[in-house]
Amino acid sequence: MMGLLWNLGAFLLALGILIAVHEFGHFWVARRCGVFVEKFSIGFGKSLWRKVGKDGTEYTIAMIPLGGYVKMLDERVEAVPAERRHMAFNNKKLWQRSAIVAAGPIANFLFAIFAYWIVFLVGLPAVKPVIGEVAPQSIAAEAGIVPGMELKSISGLKTADWESVNMAMISHIGDESMSLTARDPQSGMIVDRTLDLAHWSFDPESERVLTTLGITPFYPKFTLIISQLVEDGAAIRAGLRLNDKIVAVDDQPVTTWQQVVDSVRSHPEQALTITVKRGEETVSLPLTPAAKTLDNGEVIGYAGFASARDPWPEANLIHLQYGPIEAIGKAAERTWQLVTITFDMVTKLVTGDVAMKNLSGPISIAKGAGMTADIGILSFLGFLALISVNLGIVNLLPLPVLDGGHLMFFAIEAVTRRPVSERVQEIGFRVGSAILVALMAVALFNDFTRL
């Protein structure tokens, strides 16, 4: 229950921030263009808080926090006194109306740059994208990818860390190939490789992009020293302690943690003898793993302990931190990567290269908000930047109910030298609303199927 409330709270906070940013973009440019703004609302429905400013604008926070709007003086909506017609939106020049409409998505992109600027200014610990293992006969192996390679870029997008790698690779869903550059572990030279994706199958909801390509990131090896114990688990009941070093299972010496894991998993509710080194003493303990049923029906043994990893090599660790000026460039670069990737994914949804089942709605966004907020403020800011870019691009889609639809009508007006008729716009708004509702319905359905 607490997890649900946490996700909901993080979601509402994220949504409130991003809506305010988007609508403020419209509001700020409208004011600069001399348009009178009657109301600035965050949310819909009954007002929870309202205040009329000295500028005459009513500022409101409403009950339903799933959107917002800026109500401008407009003769198409209601009668406007003659002395105020110069402040009506519909009486402004075409470039001014276009600027006002485009300002919302632009504000979202600028906010993403600002969020990433803070992240890079404070600094973010990360790991270089060094490959640990490559599965035989996999797509990566056939392309000549080998363990130890450090990925430098994917299709021109720089990949300083694994987050960048994942985003860049996911954007290639539906493509025929993927090009990358990497540092060869033997020669130290930068080499180019091309992955053939003709037979690539990837489901973002159940698979990891790297795994489907045959790539496993480098991780320090697990030690044989117990570093975690689950309360009231089989390991504690057997008498195992933190910092015990496992040296044998059923009198068979073990040299890797995977050997221990395999032995436990293959013996549900069956007795094992675990031999550990405890200080200078060697102790043998009887362990009976509990039975655990996986989603596929398989029953495995579960002991309730975990080991520690060896320390990360210093050469693999990086700290993505920059000065105030350099951080702006890095933030703009990361935002542009997000814009490019998101635009590609939206295009592939339209063309069918990406299945509609991959479309996510508010429930998935709420989960993401809760998870990143739980990790820390920097992760939450990165999440806000991602959603802000998505919001900006979605609003630029040429659907009449969205900002992109208005811009489409303005483009037609620029060519024909006259506004699109109100009847055509009304039909467009109805069609656009129907399409948007259908997309939301699909996204919500996908969310519920993932619960």
CA angle 427, 70, 336 (to 5 degrees): 85
- Give the C-alpha separation, 243 to 241, whole Å: 6
- Give the C-alpha separation, 41 to 70, whole Å: 6
- Using alpha carbons, select from 334, 330, 351 the residue that is nearest to residue 388: 334
Alpha carbon distances (Å) from 185 to 145, 312, 389:
11, 17, 36
Residue 165 carries which side chain, given as an amino acid letter? V
- Give the C-alpha separation, 436 to 442, whole Å: 10
- Give the C-alpha separation, 437 to 104, whole Å: 21
Structure tokens at 401: 């109910």
- Give the C-alpha separation, 117 to 384, whole Å: 13
Structure tokens at 160: 């300083």
Choosing from 23, 142, 413, 422, which is the catalytic residue?
23
Dihedral of CA 161/162/165/170: which sign?
Answer: negative
- Using alpha carbons, select from 124, 141, 146, 148 the residue that is nearest to residue 316: 148
| Category of 230 on φ-ψ map: left (φ > 0), alpha (ψ -120 to 50) or beta | beta
Active-site annotation holds for 78: no
The residues assigned a catalytic role are 23
